[in-house]
Amino acid sequence: MATEEALRHRKAYSLREVGELIHTGQTKLFELIKSGQLKTRKLGRKRLVLDADLEEFLETLPKE
């Protein structure tokens, strides 16, 4: 399993890696994808989230 610091320097992440980074499960990730809140790309059968798309998603989250 890669560390968060190592993951943050990548251009694309697997859904498992995104889950680790934002501390959420696969079910919630699929809900976000289905609703269009989190954009993904397909590489064969694998879904990838580009770093720019992850940053865009995080910026849409409400601030406290």
The residues, any chain, with a CB within 8 Å of residue 4's CB and separated by 6 or more, are 20, 21
Q: What is the pLDDT of residue 40?
A: 98
State the Cα–Cα distance between residues 48 and 40, nearest whole angstrom.
Answer: 5
pTM of the model: 0.81
Q: What is the pLDDT of residue 1?
A: 52
| Number of residues assigned to the chain | 64
Over residues 12-31, the pLDDT tens digits come to 999 999 999 999 999 999 99
pLDDT confidence tier of residue 61, bands split at 50, 70 and 90: very high
Q: How far is CA 8 from CA 31, 36, 45, in A?
A: 23, 23, 23
| Mean of all residue pLDDT scores within the chain | 91
